[in-house]
Each structure stands twice: as C-alpha cells, then as structure tokens.
Structure 1
Amino acid sequence: YRHDNPEFFKCKECQKVFAEQSTLSRHMITVHTPEEELNFCCDQCPKKFSRQEKLEIHRNSHVPMEERAFACDQCPNSRFATNELLKVHICARHRRAPNVCHVCAKEIRDKASFEKHVRAHFEDGAPKAKCPIENCNLWLKDEDYLRRHIRRAHTNQEKAVTCEICGGVYKNKYSLTVHKGRVHSNVVFTCEVCKKTFKRAIYLREHMTQHTGEILYNCQFCTRTFNSKANMHAHKKKMHPVEWDNLRKANKNI
C-alpha cells in the first residue's frame, strides 16, 4: 500500500520514512535483523550477519588496501580486492538515476541529499499543508513549501515538456516529474550481483551496500562505522543523545 497523505510509514528503530508498507517491511528485515538471527560471525571483527554470502562479501573489507588491485577510475581512493566488487561499487555509486520524493515529487539525484530532503518533511511531524489546486493531492511541509509548489507546478510560465516514456505532454518539468513518479513507478532497477529487483533507484543503491562491504559513514562521537546513514543517525540519537541534540540545533542555526 502506498500513501498519498501524511499517514506515512516510519521505521520505529531508526525513524526512517518510507512510501510503502512493503518497503518498510523489507527495510526491517535487511537492516534491523534480530540479534538471534545473526548466526554468521566475522573471525576478524565483531560483526555478525544473517547469511553466509553477506559474511563473505564483508570479509573483503579486511583485505589490506595495498593488496586491493582494482581501483575505481572515478574515485581513485576507492580500491577493491576483486573486479566483481569494483563493478558493484560503480553500479552503486556512479550509476546515477533520479529519486522522486513521495511527498512533494521533487527530483533529487544524490542519495544523501535525497534522504535529507525526505526527512525534512517529517522532522516536525507530518506535512501540514495540502495543495488546494484541483486534481493535485500533494501535501507539503508548511505554507512556504506550499507556495513554492504552486509557483513551480501550477503556473504557465514554463515551456511544455514531453514524457519520453509515454509521449504525454505536460506544462512544465515539475508536472512531468510528478507524472513519472505516479505513472511510471513500475520501472525496475536490477542488482547486477544478485539480480534482485527494486521499484526505485534509491532502494537499489541502499541494497548495493550489502554487496560491497564498504564503510560509508563514521560516527563523529565514537569509533562506530555504518553502511547506512539512517542507522548512523539512529545510533547517534540513542548512544549520544546530548551531542546529537546539540548538533541538530547548531545545524538549524547555520
């Protein structure tokens, strides 16, 4: 089930927001696996995994950097023990595809920026302003977002654009983005490693971290590392609540 109103689906463990119940369920299984189900232990560090294949992928992260023969030509500091891991990295980090916000339909290419944008809609509760334009069911965070949306989506100042998928004509790029998110969301993104498919590019990129074993994020308050920004934020809020609160307040004042 997909929502079109403020009744969004939120993970109780890390507060990450999802557009569909099925995606939330998959997130709970892959990210928040119960401790008793983590039966595969790394013999070089304390990490545990739910499947043998995940453990084998993780073990590559323990290969010394000087022994990693495969370098990414787009970010030379990223090196890998096998060519297969390099291919996974390129697919996960450099094959860009737009992400469409399920609240305001804004198109964002960068994963981190996309996640930050979606969280911003819900930091202070559910979206508060519904677009009053007929046949537009979008909810926006506040009146400022609503005015910006109306200015971008419901004016005739922009040149009409055509959907390259179905040929439909829309009055501006914003309207075309909304159309693609609603009508063409069945486009399938396939993992080149395990062939698992996803409805959105953002879900594929999140999944890819399971194959690379890369350390993507570091807690600035301790030595913990994470492959998910959501997990890192959840860790900060739980283990470093005072520092986390001070950091958020400081960022708001910037």
Structure 2
Amino acid sequence: MPELDSSNISLATASKLTKRNSKINNADFSKFVKIGDKRYKCLICHAEATFKWSIIRHLIRHDKQKNCLECPICFQKNFIYPKELENHIKVEHMGIKPVCEECGMQFKSTFTLKRHIRSIHKKGGKDIICDECGKHYQRQDSFLDHQRKHHQGVTLPCVSCNKGFANASNKRQHEAICGKTLGVVCEICSKVFKSRKICNRHIKDVHTQLEPQLHMCNECAATFKYRKSLLRHGRMKGHNIDNTVE
C-alpha cells in the first residue's frame, strides 16, 4: 500500500479511511469470567476490568492480526474500532489535539482526554451553576477556580456615575435609577432626590414613621438602630444629640 501524504488529509477523508476493513470478527467471549459484582477477569492474561465492555474490548486486542484495523498512513495495526483509527489520524497525522470542553486543556490522545474527564470532571453529584454567567460545573474546585478567575474582583461600572458593581444584575438595577437623574440616593429605599436636603426630609417623613425604632440625628438625618450608636455618632461628628428625633 503506498504511503499517503498526511498534510493533505481532510476530516472527511479521515472518516472515510476508517471504513476500510471495519468489520471486526466476534471475539471468544468465553475467555473471561466474572469475579465480583463489578469485576471481570481475562482467562488469557489474568487482567481485570470493572466493566464487561472493557474486558470484551481487552479480549479483542488479544487477536490483533485478525481483528484490528490498520492505519493507511503509518500502517500501525492496533485499532479495534473505526472511531479509534479516525482519532489516531486526526491526532498523529493531522496535528489536531483533542481538547477538554470543560476546562480547555489539550491532550496528546483521546485516551488521555477520556482519562482526564473521568478523573477530574465525572465525580458525580449535582451540577454547580455559576450565578454570574450560568456555566455548569460538576466539581466544587473547578467552580471555585472559575469564580476566582472570572468574577472575583471584577468591577462593572455604571455608565452614568461610574460606580462599580461585581454583579451584573445589581448594576442594571442601579443604572435604571441612576440613568434618570444624578442625585442623592436614599440608603433605605434607593429613591433618588435632587438634593441632600430633600432626601433628609424624605427620610424623616417616610422612614421614621415606618421604622419608629430608628434613632435619627436631627442635623444630618443619619439613622441608627441603637441610641448608643447615635450618641457615638454625635461625639464623632460634633452634632447636638439632644435635638435628635427618636
């Protein structure tokens, strides 16, 4: 068989090449035994496998010359299934390295990729969903690594006042208010007012009635849950606490 030029092979051609000699004879499945609930043993070499399909696949490999497919480029002959040969051509002769869709890592072969997925990304349990971007993760450490890389410390600025937000939803809610008018925002209900004086009057008229337990400084309208906090505020700011509203 003439040697092929791997530089001119397309993915479609690679797929067609694997159809040659793709018929595999049945292996002698009597040459393995079940030795436990989830263990199978080869009677030829005593190798063990967890799954039945794994031991069957192993037995087929004992009959290489009859059952395996041959690469038409390098004439390597140890491929059981057409998909294996196709992946071999892609990786070895076309330079297409398999990539993990979960973390983006590249691997030398599909075997190492599958082993990586089994050991890293297939640990069971419910998917962990990132609240920021909606990505799914099966491992807590992968999720936390994603959070550290893509969301922690990320500041999304308001287009009107440049105030930073770590959460896109909070940023949108803020911009809905801030985009209308730049003014003083009530820290209790987030309403926006044209001046601090109007905002203070709003706090006295509305929030002191709704929440009479708050202690308010009459000079700056700052509110406190405990009177001792108000007294400490007065000492620090030099305000007259005797005239405060409670």
TM-score range, shorter chain: under 0.3
Q: TM-score, normalised by structure 1?
A: 0.25
Instruction: Return the TM-score normalized by structure 2.
Output: 0.25
Q: Look at both structures and tell me which one has the larger radius of gyration over its CA atoms.
A: 2
